[in-house]
Chains A and B, each alone.
Chain A
Amino acid sequence: MIAVDFLLLLLLVIIAVAAISAKDILTSIMLLGSYSLVIAMEWVLLNAVDVAFTEAAVGAGISTILMIAVLTRVPRFEKEMTEQKHFFDLFNRSELLALATVVITGILLISGTWDMPAFGDPNSPANSYLSPEYIARSYPETGSHNIVTAVLASYRGYDTLGETTVVFTAAICLILLIRSYKNNER
């Protein structure tokens, strides 16, 4: 199992690097789609099938198509670097700033994980108080065999309403911005 995990994570890193370095944006989009598919496999290995389903449908499926749709309006190829850069001026000041920000944020995030319980630790707070409660109560209280659906639709109903409203707002903004822009264009 650990070997499969290792293989999938290695594949993720390779795909991510390839997606960044590709000059053809269509290639990058396709690679990102496969990245989502590999992550979906990883979710299945972690027994999070609902998340895997969403990742496969949204990440690998529809967001890839939406990015290709955006590509119909922007140039497909990255601009070529004209002069060959010398190694020492490979980084200009803004790139150095970005690198420093990313490194510091990464160190902070990694140091944040040191206090987290080990993966699958049966004595962690989530596993010793919250999960047994949901497992014991979700079917008698909501009549749903799938605990994830019970949590999403019933226990966290406000949250899901908010999410649906966010999706709704996105579409309204898109209609207001792009549709009126297209109408004025003509």
Chain B
Amino acid sequence: MKDDVILRTITKFMLPFIQIFAFYTLAHGEISPGGGFQAGVIFGSSFILIALVFGKKEARSKMPRSVNDVLISTGDFIYAFTGLFCIFAGGFFLEYGELPFHSAKEGNHIGMIIIELGVAITVAAVMMTIFFEIAGKEDD
């Protein structure tokens, strides 16, 4: 598909919208449908789209394998560390209200956004990994 002008142009045009929509889904998870998992899937699929249209090499140059591998564990680490931090702050595991912000409500709010971010990072990186490891015989 590398030579199709229509596909290449539309993909270049659509990519920023897809990625911004992923961030929108993540940020608005608390007031509208969506959340970390969906945002991660959408963000990961934007890189899969690059791989489908421009080839795996091009996609790997934008998201190198080493960065991708680190991101897989980063998201899960952010989630678990937020939980641990709540213990250090004097609460139970994942009791966001104890996070050091002005009030318990604000702690809850920010804690949930942080763990959603963690979920999104892990899911996006995992989706990319699954695609890049499984697909394609030609290049790697």
Contact = CB atoms under 8 A, between A and B. Distances in A.
A142 B112 contact: yes
Nearest to A69: B135
B30 A167 contact: no
Contacts of B1: none
Interface in A148-182: 148-150, 152-154, 157-158, 160-161, 163-165, 167-168, 170-172, 174-175, 178-179, 182
A92 to B, nearest CB: 33
The residue in B52, B106, B131, B134 that gathers the most chain A C-beta atoms within 10 A of its C-beta is B134
Contact of B69 (A69, A140, A160, A175): A175
Given A154-B96, A161-B79, A171-B72, A142 B109 contact: yes
A72 B41 contact: no
Chain B interface residue count: which class? 35 or more
Interface residues of A, number: 45
Interface in A40-84: 49-50, 52-54, 57-58, 61-62, 65-66, 69-70, 72-73
Interface of B: 25, 29-38, 41-42, 44-45, 48, 52, 69, 72-73, 75-76, 79-80, 83, 93-94, 96, 105-106, 108-109, 111-112, 115-116, 118-119, 122-123, 125-127, 129-131, 133-137, 140
